[in-house]
Each structure stands twice: as C-alpha cells, then as structure tokens.
Structure 1
Amino acid sequence: MKKLTPNAHIRILSPSSSIDHIGGFEANRASKERLEALGFQISFSSHYNEHDMLGSASIESRIADLHEAFLDDSVDVILTTIGGFNCNELLPYLDYELIKKHPKLFCGYSDTTALLNAIYAKTGLKTYMGPAYSSFKMETLQDYQTESWLTALSQTSYDLTPSQEWGSNAWYLPDAELIFHQTEWKVYNHGQAEATALGGNLSTFSLLRGTPYAPQDTDYLLFLEEAEEDDYFDFDRALAALLQAYPEPKAVLIGRFPKECEMTEELLLYILAKYPVLKTIPVIYDMDFAHTQPLFTVTIGATVSVDTKTMTVHVEEN
C-alpha cells in the first residue's frame, strides 16, 4: 500500500454520521482549507450530503461511496467525516476483495473502529486510527495532531509520543470555554511487549465480537478508549466482555476519558485491579487518543513495541 506523499488526493466520506449531522459543508470548510494548505487535493463522496432520520445515509449509499473511493485510482487516502454509531451496519455488504485489490490509506476514529478492524481482519490491510476530517478544523492543539497524522500515514516506522497539553472541550463551538491540562501518560503496570495493534473505541470494537469481522490475531495488544456517552459503568462491563473475547493481550493502552464519562483515576484503577492479566502485562493510561484533544494516529494491524520503563511506544508496519 502506497504511503502518503505530497499532493496526495484525499476522499472525504461518511460511513457513519453524515456531514450534515455536524453542521454541513460550510461548518467544516476550515478542515478542507487546512488540508489543502498542507498540499493535498480534497474531494467528497457522491452521497456526502445525504442525511436520514438517524443522521446518517442509507446503507446502499454509504457502501457505494466506499467502493467508489477504493476503485478510484486517483484517490490515495480515504478520510471519514466523523464517527457516529452505525458503521457496523456496512460490514456484511463490503466487497473485501475489491478493497484488497485497491488498497488505500484509510483513517478515522470512534465509530470508524468497526471498519478499521474489520478491513484489517478480512483483508490484512493496515488501517489508521486517527483524526477524522472534522478534526482538522480544530485550532488549538492541532500541530501535534497533524504532525502525528502525517508521520503515521507517510512512514512505516515511527514512535508515539505524548502531547504537551490536552483538553476535554467543546472546541467546535465558537464560544466554548477551553481548559487545558499538562499531559502525562501513566503506568498501571510496568513491562515490555511487542504485538499487533487492535482496538480503538471500546464500545464499537465490542460490536465485532462473535462476527466474522473481529480480528483473530493470537499475538495482539489493545488500544482502548471510550466516547462521551459511555460512563465508567459502561467501560467496566465492556472491558470485562472484551477480556473474555481477547483474554491474552500482550499490553493494554488506554486513551484519556472525556469529562462526560465521569471517570476518575481512583475508579479506573479500581476497575483495572479486577483483572489478574493486567498485573502481568504493560498497561498505560491517559494516552493521546480518542475523544479528548489532541489525538495521535496509530496503525491498526502494525507491530507495536511497548516499554513502560522508558515510556516508549514504537510502531513498525513492515
């Protein structure tokens, strides 16, 4: 699969929530302008304006947009508009052979977790958990986010490093109060590990259990995070179910919780302490991915090496 190059063509599409659900084209024009300023060509899928009762488009339209993007030889990168709640509806209807024959860099986060892991599971192609199209209109903290995205999509070997500061803010509102904190990745249990990266949004990744679209790797580590609508009770029971389906992770890397989850460090440590396996492998939390800002980009399906003593997380795609 060709890596990101200057002047690459990026196709924006909405496999879950539509662009109208987040204000429409004009409300997100700043994302287009920022990506164009980086030198990229931007195009939009045929049905990006379609918007139904659930804030999405029909399954047929979303599948058509995905297949069209993969078939278009001029498209180098497929970038999702935002997350949502219904990517998993598409999984039985995707032509995975078509996708495998026309590989593209595919990036998104949150609900896109279902597609990222299913495409990897069904085709072996690596995918990218990172910012969506709408993420690029964020002003503050954008430098870290953009740099990580560019690095992951253009290089086959890179390190994940902490941001300087972070926030859990409604940054997309013009009058939102912005509160920032110093970033600190924290260790629950020390260790070293090397395995294949799986996961993303915990609630969405959980939807793949028991389906043909769940990755079947035997040597894996898990990236896990939760969205604003999932509180600490949701995380507690979803983690239990996940560790029953994936009982032998080599490491667990946890993204910061948005403030709406009401997760405290005391609660998180109490939940993690329930699982003996987490006392035998590297576990890091409060990392820069998911539903706080900014977020790094990491390759699903890549080999990730973790060393908590040196606090290094290295990604190798080859």
Structure 2
Amino acid sequence: MKYPKFLNVNNNTIGVCAMSSGVGHKLDSFDESIEYIKSHGFNVIETNSVRNDSEPSCDALTRVTELNSLVNDSNVDAIWLAAGGDFQFETLPYLDFDLIEKNPKWYLGASDPTNLLFPITCKCDLATVYGFNAGSFDEFGINEYSDLCIEFLKGKNNVLHSSSLHQDVDFYNDGAPILNTNTEYVGSCDAEGRLLGGCFESINDMAGTPYDFVEEFNERYKLDGIIWFFDIFSMNSCDVYRALLKMKYMGYFKYTKAILVGRVLFKNVSDLIGYEQAFKKALPDIDVVLKMDIGHTYPHMYVVNGAMAKVKANDGCGSIHYEIKE
C-alpha cells in the first residue's frame, strides 16, 4: 500500500475539483469550508467547474480532464473533491489510473466521490481518505472529527473514538445538525486488517463492472485481512440484503475480519427486514458493528481506505487506530 506524502509543511496546495455536483447552489457555505481549510495553512486552487450551479458540474469527460490537470500539476499535493451528488459513476470510463498511480497524491471525498477513491485504492494501491468533501466544513458541518481529518492529512495519526451524541436520522433544523441522541454502536469486534469501503450504493454500482478491482485488492492483502466500512446513504434494508448477497457471491468478503456500518441518513422504508438483520442473515460468520460514526449523519469520522487499522467495539462504543505501514 502506497501512502502519499503528508502535507506537513505550511503552504502546501490542495486542488479542488467537482467530479460530481457543482457547488453553485451553496456558495456561501462552500466559501466557509474553503476558508476553514486555508486556516490550517493550505493554499487552495479550484478547477473551472467547481462553482457551476448544476448536477453534475459539467460533462463527464470535462470533469476528468479537470481532475487530470490537478494530477499532472506538481505543485498540487492533494486533491479534494468539492461535493457529493449522483452522477460521478459516469466518469469511470475516462479515468486514467496509470496517470494517477504515477503521480501519487492524497485524494479526499465522501459519498458519490467513492467512485474515485474506492477504485484508486483497489487499482492503484494508493491510500485515500473517505469522510469529508472540500465543502463539508461550513459552520454546521464542522464536528469533533474535522480537525482530526486535517491533522491526519498533515501526518498526525490520532486514535478515533466514538462520539457521545449524534444527529438523529433525517433530523435537521434549518440545515444545522442537532446532536440530540446518545451514540451507541450496535455489535462488537476486535479486529486488525486493511480498511476498504465507502458509500455502499456506489460500491454496489461498481460491483461487476470493468471498474471493479476488489478481487485483486483482496488477493494482494489476504494475509492482512480486510475490514470493510460501509456508508449507506438511503438504500432500504431489503436492497442492502440483496446487494450484500451479490457481493458475497462475487467473493468480496472471503478474507473479511469485520464490517463497520455507519448510521443511515434516511428512515428505512422496509419493515420486512432491518439493517442489522440484513447483515446477520447475509454474513452470519462475520462480526458487524452498526450505527458507527461513519457516513452522512453528524458527527462522522474520516476513514483511511487501504490503511491497516485496529478496530475495537463493545458496550456501545468503539475506536479506530490507524497503523500507517505498507
């Protein structure tokens, strides 16, 4: 596993691109986020389509061309995706994985940007950071893990501990998350292995396509074992169950030591099976921990795709300790 150079010197440059949605509909919020990133000592440059008021930000080929301009720029030390959305999947045929592998940088994003981070880690053997988009740091988005994500990018490796309070499912007040519910992880594990995952819907979309590189990742790190992490955005539990079975049939979980599942943002519309039951029924022999601080609800951790980690969870709480080693 390759770890890009950490940004531990002031005035490193972060390139921001819009591989999914543009941010034109929330410019005030986005500007707050960029100022937050700059306040940690970074320069920030943006590609042309970032501030477009459209989803997607522009056509797929142009989005990848703008990404490549950052990949090729030796002055850009990390690439941070501006926002989530629904259409990044259509950029996959245009990605130049050889170019990305030859120019290793940190890639960061959350939700739809899984369609870039996940295949980069699997195909290019390059660690990526899931959990925050460049536009995640407005006054409502900053949480107890925000600074820790920035510190990791600078090379400081902190142990992440479960939160004490979190935002209830689908509950907002004028856009501000209200941390009104006691955090209690469901399930237990004590595992060490390679982290791999992202937005569940995106991973399910890529499964079985020419951009599915999970088998080679699994074989490369079978001796380490895999700890999957899943951020389920809105998929109902019946669909999750079928998707898990598909992934199981494809061999995704043959070296799996544990599975970490975040809180689902939207209420489950199925009463036939719950999320916990879906995982237990599909994968009865694997430790699964649900309702973790991963994903779309607040607060949420950053998760390092490809990193070795020690994960512990019991009695409703837990921790992730990254071991940055090849």
User: Normalised by the size of structure 2, how large is the TM-score?
Assistant: 0.84
- Aligned residue number for residue 287 of structure 2: 282
- Indicate which of 193, 196, 205 corresponds to 1:207: 205
- Aligned residue number for residue 7 of structure 1: 11
Moved over 4 A (4+): 168-171, 173-177
* Unpaired runs of at least 5, structure 2: none
What RMSD, in angstroms, separates the aligned Cα atoms of the two structures?
2.5
Q: Deviations over 1:161-200 (max 9, x none)?
A: 11232114676x746683521222221xx44322221111
Instruction: Give yes or no for the alignment of 1:37 onto 2:39.
Output: yes
Aligned partners of 2:97 and 2:291: how far apart in 1?
34
Q: Deviations over 1:128-162 (max 9, x none)?
A: 1021122101436x241312312432337442311
Q: Deviations over 1:216-259 (max 9, x none)?
A: 2233221012114x233332322222222213221100001113
- Aligned residue number for residue 262 of structure 2: 255
- Aligned residue number for residue 310 of structure 2: 305
- The structure richer in strand per residue is 2
- Aligned residue number for residue 240 of structure 1: 245
Q: Which amino acid aligns with 1:36?
A: K
- Aligned residue number for residue 184 of structure 2: 184
Greater shift in the superposed pair: 178-187 or 62-71: 178-187
- Aligned residue number for residue 154 of structure 1: 154
TM-fit CA distance, 1:123:
1.2
- Aligned residue number for residue 114 of structure 1: 115
TM-fit CA distance, 1:24:
4.4
- The structure richer in helix per residue is 1
1:216-235 paired onto structure 2 within 5 Å: 216=215, 217-218=217-218, 219=222, 220-228=226-234, 230-235=235-240
Instruction: Give yes or no for the alignment of 1:273 onto 2:269.
Output: no
TM-fit CA distance, 1:119:
0.9
Q: 1:42 to 1:238 in 2, by over 3 A?
A: same
Counterpart contact for 1:195–1:304, Cα < 8 Å: yes
Counterpart contact for 1:199–1:300, Cα < 8 Å: yes
Q: 1:262 to 1:137 in 2, by over 3 A?
A: farther
Aligned partners of 2:158 and 2:175: how far apart in 1?
36
Q: 1:177 to 1:256 in 2, by over 3 A?
A: closer
Where 1:144 maps in the other structure, the secondary structure is: coil
Aligned partners of 1:163 and 1:177: how far apart in 2?
14
- Aligned residue number for residue 72 of structure 2: 71
Where 2:227 maps in the other structure, the secondary structure is: strand
Aligned partners of 2:30 and 2:312: how far apart in 1?
39
- Aligned residue number for residue 21 of structure 2: 17
Aligned partners of 1:179 and 1:297: how far apart in 2?
18
Q: 1:34 to 1:311 in 2, by over 3 A?
A: closer
User: Normalised by the size of structure 1, how large is the TM-score?
Assistant: 0.86
Where 2:116 maps in the other structure, the secondary structure is: helix
Percent identity between the two aligned chains: 27
Q: 1:68 to 1:110 in 2, by over 3 A?
A: same
Aligned partners of 2:301 and 2:177: how far apart in 1?
23
TM-fit CA distance, 1:17:
1.2
* Unpaired runs of at least 5, structure 1: none
- Aligned residue number for residue 145 of structure 1: 145
Instruction: Give yes or no for the alignment of 1:49 onto 2:56.
Output: no
Instruction: Report how many residues are paired.
Output: 307
Counterpart contact for 1:156–1:316, Cα < 8 Å: no
Aligned partners of 2:17 and 2:65: how far apart in 1?
10
Where 2:233 maps in the other structure, the secondary structure is: coil
Q: 1:62 to 1:89 in 2, by over 3 A?
A: same
- Indicate which of 292, 300, 306 corresponds to 2:297: 292
Greater shift in the superposed pair: 232-241 or 249-258: 232-241
Counterpart contact for 1:10–1:43, Cα < 8 Å: yes
